[in-house]
Structure 1
Amino acid sequence: MTSTTPRMTNLFLQLGLDASEQAIADFIITHQLPADTYISDAPYWDEGQRQFLAEQLKSDGAWAIIVDQLNESLHEDAVKKITGL
């Protein structure tokens, strides 16, 4: 078990991704998901990343909040399209 503080930058580090503020913003913009795609089912994750995300959401622990925030960000375009906002 890791004692890393759950934050978006640390989530990106856990996923092996660039955790700079600009890289996170760019990732979110360029990796938007359709409304019916779960974050852990996104085609751009490798198996380890997919498993980590799914486990964190199931655990309902501290990391689940951060993963859910990423999930919401990755679905932002789809939600705007559905709601018209």
Structure 2
Amino acid sequence: MQTGHHTLNDLFAQLGLSSDDNAIEDFLARHHLVGEETLARAQFWSESQRKFLRDAILEDSDWCEVVDELDALLRH
């Protein structure tokens, strides 16, 4: 099975968020994960965004790498 390589910009677009570099930087500056908080349970997501993020990891989809990247970026 061929999987695609998704970028952070692709992920933001998939989540229905502004996906240009400046919008992503702004999002990362305004949102953070603390301690054991999981990405998909963060309060700043809608229910459909939570489901997508959770499923990406649980299903080991071709989105999981960039979802992990977003998780790491939100912890800095």
Between 1 and 2, higher relative CO (CA 8 Å, sep ≥ 6) is seen in 2
Larger helix percent? 1
Offset at 1:61? 2.6
- Which runs of 5 or more structure 2 residues have no equivalent in the other structure? none
TM-score by length of 1: 0.81
Partner residue in 2 for 1:26: 26
Q: 5 Å matches for 1:2-81?
A: 5-76=5-76
TM-score by length of 2: 0.89
Q: Which digits, 9 at most, give the CA deviation of each residue in 1:11-32, with x for residues without a partner?
A: 0001000001011011011101
Percent identity for Structure 1 against Structure 2: 34
Matched residues in 2 for 1:42 and 1:4: separation?
A: 26
Matched residues in 1 for 2:48 and 2:5: separation?
A: 20
Task: Indicate the structure (1 or 2) with the bigger Cα radius of gyration.
Answer: 1
